[in-house]
Structure 1
Amino acid sequence: MDTMRDRFIAITSQLLAEEPRLAVVLADISADGFAPARRAHPDRVINVGIREQLLIGAGAGMALTGMRPIVHTFASFLVERPFEQVKLDFGHQGVGGILVSAGGSYDWPAGGFTHMAPGDVALLDTLEGWTVHVPGHPDEAEALLREAVDGDDRVYVRLSLQANREARPVGRSTGSMGSTGSTGSTGFSVVREGRRGTVVAVGPMLDNVLAATEGLDVSVLYATTVRPFDAAGLRRAAGAGPGADAGAGPSADVVIVEPYLAGTSTAAANEALMELPHRVLGLGVGRAELRRYGQMEEHLAAHGLDARGLRERITGFLPA
């Protein structure tokens, strides 16, 4: 299976030939992969070098002219380092664009903490109007990217080497309880139904969540889009949807498993469930810096995001 980043390069190179207003702005990262596209479209594939503030500014400048920029580098250099430019050049100027990151939270541990970005989604959460996609498979990344190219809004697509074994459909409809398997780029899809709690798996965390909850009487929701947050879908899963009987339905205990900073979406979940007695546990990457390089799988285990660690914490939180 190709990686999400491989698919991004291939599909974006294809879309450049189909969409005359599309442009790609790079900061050396993935420049080799985009070399054929740059030869074919030298005015629309721009490499600014290792100048991340300029990367964002150039992309926003293109948006001001009516182009649809795709701006790409590692997450730590795309969101964290040039955050002021993301806030002002896109947000303050009111223009749209697509930020596509690579590297996830710790895809390349040998790169050290400078190349890790577990706080990227939480940081974007401080800004208005950003759609955030976290695909769990290259097919999903492709579908979400194609959808983003058709719009004019501000979109962040977070790519990772970690991926689920199988892709799930990505569309515009919203999943709901009673329609297992339905999905939506703006809503959570229902993968499994149960009555003793709800576990939301974000992007590449789904396989580990399914393994961790095997045999448990819980609902599992899958999210490839975390902003906007699917408040209605979570309420339905928690038994607070339209027509739900008081005291009936699944328990309003919710666990959110995210491949970035733990607790990033707990405020959104609490707001969604504010009219219902509930508890929310946010699982994800811890705040402590792990200073041994190791491998990605070792970082997952150290943060309790492997199947064993997730099962221990989920069963410890949900009622028996």
Structure 2
Amino acid sequence: MRARFYAELDPVLAAHPDVDVVLAVIGAGNLAPVAARHPGRVIDVGIREQAMIGVAGGLALTGRRPIVHTYAPFLVERAYEQLKLDLGHQDVGAILVSIGASFDASTEGRTHQAPADVALVSALPGWTVHVPGHPDEVAAMLHAEAATDRRVYLRLSTGQNRRPWAAPDGRLVTIRPGPPEDPLVLAVGPMLDTVLEATADLRVRVAYTATPHPLDAAGLRSLAGPTPVLAVVEPSLEGTSAAAVAAALADRPSRVVHVGVPRDAELRRYGSAADHAAAHGLDAAGVRRRVEELLGARPGLLAAPGGPDPRAVSPSR
């Protein structure tokens, strides 16, 4: 996803004369050819992430469209006050593009981990959050958002699904259909293939979104049915979408489990992103355990031969 983002910046800058890229060292070497082709439009402020957001806010106030890029903890957590004031309070837009995701850069230590980033950005008014699951989704979202003036957070990941699924308008997409009374598992971004593996022989439906905020509430209501049994599997902090899901289903008796990076435990060990996913229960085995807990491990949960085709796809509404 990161390589695809860098590759798309040249055509984005060519297509949108008002777009500038603001960096805090990270990515500067990769974008040297882009900077040479678009003089003055790739701005490196040095290791000053708060100033980077301030510069983006100033550019936006003059009518420019800034794309701001660095690691997630530096972009969101370190500069959170500037997101609130220099962009939000000024009511101007920017596209924040992060790398590192929850623990993609786990070998760099806790300084480079930010599982709470989506929750933090979603807590600020007026933001759209994209969590793409494939490089093609990154490209589509970047080009589409460059033509708007919205405040956007685009969260890149090293993990990805085998193919793109995202609907262009952020709607939920049905990946594995089934009877409406069957439980529903909603996968966010790069968690989809893990969810499909974890639930391959379970009688559950699977839906997908790459835009968890604002959540497609109408699509969720349509899929969930009158008495929802639902699992939401996210690559970010557990319960990140809980408030949005609860609001969408407020008038319905429901049973919901939220699967993500646990809130009550901090892993103080080095290891790969896959090691961290397994330790946090976000690998296929861990996701399956949580879904089985939701379903109660009752007889009849295994999919019958000839059941729903996991390759099938249709829009939620």
After the TM superposition, which segments of 4 or more aligned residues of structure 1 sit over 4 Å from their partners?
none
Query: Which residues in structure 2 correspond to 1:242-253 (within 5 Å)?
Result: 251-253=227-229
Which piece of structure 1 moves more, 46-55 or 188-197? 188-197
Q: Given the alignment, which residue of 219, 228, 234 partners 2:214?
A: 228
- Residue 279 of structure 2: aligned partner: 302
Q: Do 1:144 and 1:170's aligned partners in 2 also have CA atoms closer than 8 Å?
A: no
Write the distance in 2 (CA, Å) between the matches of 1:233 and 1:216: 23
TM-score of the superposed pair, with normalisation by structure 2: 0.91
Corresponding residue to 2:195 among 195, 209, 219: 209
Asked if 1:312 corresponds to 2:289, the answer is: yes
Inter-partner Cα distance in structure 1 for 2:270 and 2:162: 25
CA distance in 2, matches of 1:162, 1:93: 34
Between the two proteins, the alignment pairs up a number of residues equal to 294
Cα deviation, 1:159-192, whole Å, max 9, x if unaligned, reads 01011111225322xxxxxxxxxxxxx2110101
For 1:17 and 1:122, locate their aligned partners in 2 and report how far apart those are by CA, in whole Å.
Answer: 33
Is the 2:94–2:152 Cα contact (8 Å) retained in structure 1? Answer: yes
Structure 1 distance, partners of 2:245, 2:255, is: 9
CA distance in 1, matches of 2:93, 2:133: 24
Match of 1:171 among 165, 168, 173: 168
1:129-167 per-residue CA deviation (whole Å, 9 max, x = no partner) reads 100000001001111111111111101000010111112
Q: In the alignment, what sits opposite 1:82?
A: 79
Residue of structure 2 aligned with 1:141, choices 138, 146, 153: 138
Aligned partner of 1:88: which letter? L
SS of the residue corresponding to residue 140 of structure 2 reads helix
Work out the CA distance in 2 between the residues paired with 1:20 and 1:209: 41
For the 8 Å contact 1:143–1:170, the answer to whether it is kept is no
Instruction: For 1:1-320, list aligned pairs within 5 A.
Output: 4-172=1-169, 186-194=170-178, 195-240=181-226, 251-287=227-263, 288-319=265-296, 320=298
1: CA distance, partners of 2:166 / 2:185:
19
Q: 1:169 to 1:261 in 2, by over 3 A?
A: closer
Q: Which residue identity lines up with residue 112 of structure 1 in the other structure?
A: G
* Residue 18 of structure 1: how far off its partner (Å): 2.0
Paired position in structure 1 for 2:310: none
Structure 1 SS opposite 2:163: coil
> Aligned equivalents of 2:285 and 2:69: distance in 1?
34
CA distance, structure 1, for counterparts of residue 89 and residue 289 of structure 2: 44
Q: CA RMSD in A?
A: 1.1
SS in 2 for 1:227: coil
Using the alignment, how far apart are the partners of 2:272 and 2:198 within structure 1? 21
Q: Determine the structure 2 residue equivalent to 1:177.
A: none
Answer yes or no: is the 8 Å Cα contact 2:162–2:193 preserved in 1.
yes
Amino acid at match of 1:171: P
Could you tell me the percent identity over the aligned residues? 54
Deviations 1:177-209 (A, max 9, x none): xxxxxxxxx211010123331111000000000
What is the TM-score of this pair, normalised by structure 1? 0.90
Question: Shift of residue 7 of structure 1?
Answer: 0.5
Contact 1:27 1:52 in 2 (8 A): yes
Q: CA deviation at 1:21?
A: 0.3
The SS at the match of 2:203 is coil
Look up the SS of the partner of 1:254 in the other structure. strand
CA distance in 2, matches of 1:264, 1:187: 18
Aligned-partner Cα distance in 1 for 2:240–2:98? 18
Check the 8 A contact 2:107/2:271 in 1, yes or no.
yes
